[in-house]
Structure 1
Amino acid sequence: MAFHTRSNSFPSRPHPIVQEVDEHLCRLRSSEVTSTSSSISHKLTGLQELHSCVDRLLQLPLAQQALAQEQNEKSTNELLDGSLRILDGCSSAKDALLQTKECVQDLQSIMRRRRGSESGALTTEVRKYLTSRKMVKKAIHKAMRNLKGSSFSSLNNDNETIAFVSTLRDVEAVTLSVFESLLSFISGPKSKPSGSWSLVSKFIHPKRVACEEETEANVFAQVDAALQSFIKTSKSDHKNADNQLDNLESCIQDQEEQLECLFRQLIKTRVSLLNILNH
Structure 2
Amino acid sequence: MAPSPLHPKASRHARSISLPSRSHPLTLQVEGQLQRLKASEATSSSMCHNLGGLRDLYDSVNDLLHLPLTQRTLAQELGQKWIDEVLDGSLRSLDVCGTARDVLSQMKQSVTELQSSLRRIRGESGLSNEVEAYNMSRKKVTKVISKCLGDLRKVQKQRAFSSLLDKNHDIVAMVSVLRKVEAITLSMFESLLLFVSRSKAMSRPNGWSLVSNLINKKRVAEDEEVMERCEFEKVDVVLGAFVGHKTHKGFEFRHVEAQKRLETLELSIQDLEDGLECIFRSLIKTRVTLLNILNH
Q: What TM-score bracket applies, with the shorter chain setting the length? A: 0.7 to 0.9
TM-score (norm 1): 0.82
Q: Secondary structure at the match of 1:233?
A: coil
* Offset at residue 32 of structure 1 (A): 4.5
User: Could you list the per-position Cα deviations for residues 16-61 of structure 1 after superposition, in whole angstroms to 9, with x for gaps in the alignment?
Assistant: 111110111010011143663xx21111111111001100100112
Larger mean Cα displacement after TM superposition, 59-68 or 130-139: 59-68
Q: Distance in 2 between matches of 1:123 and 1:172?
A: 44
Unaligned 5+ segments in structure 2 are: 1-16, 207-223
Q: Distance in 1 between matches of 2:23 and 2:226?
A: 39
State which of 75, 82, 97 in structure 2 corresponds to 1:68: 75
* Offset at residue 224 of structure 1 (A): 1.4
State which of 149, 160, 176 in structure 2 corresponds to 1:166: 176
Alignment: residue pair count? 252
Q: Distance in 2 between matches of 1:220 and 1:112?
A: 20
* Offset at residue 231 of structure 1 (A): 2.6
Unaligned 5+ segments in structure 1 are: 1-7, 195-211
* Offset at residue 157 of structure 1 (A): 1.8
Is the CA contact (8 Å cut-off) linking 1:66 and 1:164 kept in structure 2?
Answer: no
Equivalent position of 1:118 in the other structure:
123
Equivalent position of 2:11 in the other structure:
none
State which of 55, 58, 63 in structure 2 corresponds to 1:56: 63
Q: Distance in 1 between matches of 2:38 and 2:44?
A: 14
* Offset at residue 73 of structure 1 (A): 3.4
2:182 aligned with 1:175 = no
2:236 aligned with 1:216 = no
Q: Distance in 1 between matches of 2:128 and 2:88?
A: 45
Q: Distance in 2 between matches of 1:132 and 1:253?
A: 18
Structure 1 residues 213 and 28, CA gap change in structure 2 (3 angstroms): farther
Structure 1 residues 98 and 35, CA gap change in structure 2 (3 angstroms): farther
Structure 1 residues 266 and 213, CA gap change in structure 2 (3 angstroms): farther
2:145 aligned with 1:145 = no
* Offset at residue 244 of structure 1 (A): 0.9
TM-score (norm 2): 0.78
Task: Please report the RMSD computed on the Cα atoms of aligned residues, expressed in angstroms.
Answer: 2.7
Structure 1 residues 33 and 164, CA gap change in structure 2 (3 angstroms): same
2:241 aligned with 1:229 = yes
Equivalent position of 2:274 in the other structure:
257
- The aligned amino acid for 2:36 is R
Q: Secondary structure at the match of 1:53?
A: helix
Structure 1 residues 183 and 35, CA gap change in structure 2 (3 angstroms): farther
* Offset at residue 101 of structure 1 (A): 0.4
- The aligned amino acid for 2:55 is Q
State which of 280, 283, 295 in structure 2 corresponds to 1:266: 283
